[in-house]
């Protein structure tokens, strides 16, 4: 657990980076610190491992004032991931990951062996261990950065905009990977970002900071989207928050309806012409695309005769995906799949909206019915 107790940071030139701020990060959870530049989020983060000392107030780590620990020893017990990864260019990936265990005095051999396991754990191949950081892509370097931070198995992880220097696709992959790792490891994570979407995606709780180090709101992401504390948070959270909040609404009660299906490779005889959209599946029952109403199939049904489908909604995942599946499908029918990608049924946007309204105004819908 990390506790900030009325911490304040004022620099010698009078600039106030953090203004009497209190905040608790519960053990085993991810707290995202988010805000515009100059809001003191990195300052706050660095108070935890004493890279910055507060002017007043205390920071407690599992109930102990961090000032009672020797800074270097304290830092070895806290994982740290930095923007651009901060890997040592003169050391191989393996030796980068082995850094902290070796600072702890573990033998080089043991540290390297453990490092190789970690390299695999963050989704890289073992052979990467012998490479130098310059031979890795930005995303791979970040993975190594995470592996290095985890090497001594610290209970607390500090992450300072770790994914901001990579492109959006790679970033999304790294975020998913981090969530998967966190599921396994259950670290106490303090994550600094300027990207509200990243904060909402990764944080169990999100702390929105305002310029000058004021805490504007500290709440779980769905609450942040549903009830922003003030105009600043509202504008910072940004557009589409009603829609984005659906990411936190589960889709229980959404019953997919059946739809006519055909299979790739079926002959024209199996595909009677009809005035409805028909969903094409592959041999594993996975959706491949739509067959336009009245489309005639000559010979065998092949993929190039299909119209690309929309996004897929996985059964049991949040409602946002279901609505998006319906809105993005050419047929207006959102395709629902199971965990293995197999076809389950379809939902319409109307279907999803009715469910949302029923959740928001249960009495009203009941009365109408």
Site residues for another protein per CB under 8 A: 49, 51, 72-77, 80, 82-91, 99-100, 103, 128, 131-132, 134-137, 139-140, 148, 158, 170, 173
By C-beta, is 31 or 140 nearer to another protein?
140
3-class secondary structure, 330: coil
Smallest gap from Cβ 79 to another protein, in A, equals 9
* Nearest distance, CB of residue 150 and another protein, angstroms: 12
CB of 132 to another protein, least distance (A): 4
CB nearer another protein, residue 119 or residue 200? 119
Q: How does DSSP assign 54-87, residue by residue?
A: -SEEEEEETTEEGGGS-HHHHHHTEEEE-TTTT-
Q: List the alpha helices (DSSP H) in the chain.
A: 41-48, 71-76, 93-97, 99-103, 108-121, 138-150, 168-185, 196-202, 221-226, 231-237, 241-244, 319-328, 349-360, 362-368
Tell me how many helices (H) and strands (E) the chain has: 14, 16
Q: What is the 3-state secondary structure (H, E, C) of 136-164?
A: CCHHHHHHHHHHHHHCCCCCEEEEECCCC
Does residue 58 come out as left (phi exceeding 0), alpha (psi in the -120 to 50 range) or beta? beta
If the CB atoms of residues 75 and 320 are measured against another protein, the closer one turns out to be 75
Of 49 and 188, which has the nearer Cβ to another protein?
49
Q: Which residue number, 181 or 254, has a Cβ lying nearer to another protein?
A: 181
Beta carbon of residue 112, minimum distance to another protein (angstroms, whole number): 16
Which two tokens mark 125?
Answer: 């191949």
The nearest distance, CB 63 to another protein, in angstroms, is 21
Question: For residue 267, what are the β-bridge partners?
Answer: 300
Nearest approach in angstroms of CB 80 to another protein is 4
Of the two residues 80 and 290, which places its CB atom closer to another protein in the complex?
80
């Amino acid at each position: 657990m990390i506790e900030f107790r009325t911490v304040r940071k004022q620099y010698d030139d009078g600039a106030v980076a953090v203004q009497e701020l209190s905040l608790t990060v519960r053990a085993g959870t991810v707290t995202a610190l988010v805000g515009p530049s100059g809001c003191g989020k990195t300052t706050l983060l660095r108070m935890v491992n004493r890279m910055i000392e507060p002017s007043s107030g205390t920071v407690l780590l599992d109930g102990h004032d961090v000032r009672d620990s020797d800074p270097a020893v304290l830092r070895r017990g806290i994982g740290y991931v930095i923007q651009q990864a901060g890997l040592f260019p003169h050391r191989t990936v393996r030796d980068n990951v082995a850094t902290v265990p070796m600072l702890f005095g573990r033998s080089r051999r043991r540290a390297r062996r453990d490092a190789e396991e970690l390299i695999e754990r963050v989704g890289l191949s073992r052979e990467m261990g012998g490479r130098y950081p310059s031979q890795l892509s930005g995303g791979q370097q970040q993975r190594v950065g995470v592996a290095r931070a985890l090497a001594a198995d610290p209970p607390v992880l500090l992450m300072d905009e770790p994914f901001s220097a990579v492109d959006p696709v790679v970033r999304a992959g790294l975020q998913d990977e981090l969530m998967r790792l966190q599921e396994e490891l259950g670290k106490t994570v303090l994550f600094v970002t300027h990207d509200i979407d990243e904060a909402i995606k990764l944080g169990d709780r999100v702390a929105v900071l305002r310029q000058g180090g004021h805490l504007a709101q500290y709440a779980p992401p769905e609450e942040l989207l549903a009830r922003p504390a003030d105009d600043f948070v509202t504008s910072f959270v940004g557009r589409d928050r009603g829609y984005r909040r659906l990411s936190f609404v589960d889709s229980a009660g959404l019953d997919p309806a059946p739809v006519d299906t055909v299979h790739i490779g079926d002959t024209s005889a199996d595909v009677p012409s009809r005035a409805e959209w028909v969903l094409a599946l592959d041999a594993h029952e996975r959706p491949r695309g739509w067959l336009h109403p009245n489309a005639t199939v000559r010979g065998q049904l092949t993929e190039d005769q299909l119209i690309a489908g929309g996004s897929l909604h996985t059964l049991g995942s949040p409602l946002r995906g279901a609505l998006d599946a319906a809105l993005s499908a050419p047929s207006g029918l959102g395709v629902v799949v199971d965990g293995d990608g197999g076809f389950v049924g379809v939902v319409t946007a109307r279907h999803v909206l009715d469910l949302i309204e029923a959740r928001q105004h249960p009495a009203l819908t009941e009365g109408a019915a």
